Chains A and B, each alone.
Chain A
Amino acid sequence: MLTGIVFWVLAVVAVAAGVAVFRVDSMARATYALAASFIAVGLALLLVDLEFLGVITVLMMTMEMAVMGIYMIMFMGMNPALMPMSMVHGKRPALAVSIGTFVVLAAGALLVPWPTRRGAPAADLVTSLGEAIMESKMLVMMTVSPVLFATIVAALVLALPRGRYDRLGDDLRAGKAPR
């Protein structure tokens, strides 16, 4: 009973904060709203005993929103991040697509005869996850690790102002002494 009440409170907070992301009049407030939505979902994960994943969701998204806030101030200045703004295109088609998607997904959730639960969760779910990614699901971790490393390298290459070979701009011969 209590779990159900907590879940509904978290669900309302998650969806309301999600809607607020695109309704509030500044990007700074939108960032806080998105963080609230993620924290609500992270806490909902705790209700289904996903302690590790729930906690890392909350921690990761809190940090990510902090980075996003700094990012907005850094690139857009304080005023555009805090002042009212509305920069949208194709509002009505987007609304129609999203409502249609919700109707289809909700119909699937309610009409599909879902099977009954098979198996029981492990006594220690965090340990079972650790054992899975270090034993039977190690290939997943071996794939995720280079993907994350490649992301770091690619993001740095894109974000750095200049690399080794473009220090002279388009004219690579500009630095050479005339013959």
Chain B
Amino acid sequence: MTLQTMLLVAAALFSVGLYGAISQQVVVMVMMGLELMLNGVILAAAAFWWFLSPTPDGQVLLLVVITAMTVEMAMGFAVATLLHRSRQSDMTDMATDLSR
């Protein structure tokens, strides 16, 4: 277990998540892709912390990443609920006007 191997695994997780976030049509599946990307970020941050500078600062950064994941999940569910209620749909293609 080295820094490079942990970063490779983190890169693989991030890339798989990126594929899902770009390609999926269902909002919940897009959220799963984003969560996988953050999963990779968590692993990479842990690797940097352990192999480069194992100070408490790195742990605090990891805590912030986990918080970001929580916020993403909560707001994603809320927006998906609103979309489902107002349009009876959970597809991203039906909500392209939100990007305007």
A interface residues (Cβ-Cβ under 8 A, vs B): 3-4, 7-8, 11, 14-15, 18-19, 21-22, 27, 30-31, 34, 37-38, 41, 44-45, 47-50, 52-53, 56-57, 60, 64, 67-68, 71-72, 75-76, 87-91, 93-95, 97-99, 101-102, 105-106, 108-110, 114-115, 117-122, 125, 128-129, 131-133, 136-137, 140, 144, 147-148, 151-152, 154-156, 158-159, 161
Contacts and interface: CB of A to CB of B under 8 A. Distances in A.
Contacts of A45: 42-43, 46
Contacts, number: 222
A67 B31 CA distance: 13
Q: For the side of the interface on B, what is the size category?
A: 35 or more
A106 B19 contact: no
Which 3 A-B residue pairs are closest in the complex by CB-CB distance?
A109-B7, A105-B11, A132-B56
Nearest to B62: A53
B56 A15 contact: no
B11 A106 contact: yes
Contact of B4 (A57, A110, A140): A110
Given A34-B32, A147-B71, A161-B85, A140 B60 contact: yes
27 contacts: A15-B12, A22-B16, A22-B19, A22-B23, A48-B50, A53-B46, A53-B66, A67-B77, A98-B18, A102-B11, A105-B11, A114-B3, A118-B52, A121-B50, A129-B56, A129-B59, A132-B57, A136-B56, A137-B57, A140-B64, A144-B64, A148-B70, A154-B75, A155-B75, A156-B78, A159-B78, A159-B81
Given A11-B9, A18-B36, A121-B54, A88 B24 contact: yes
Nearest to B26: A87
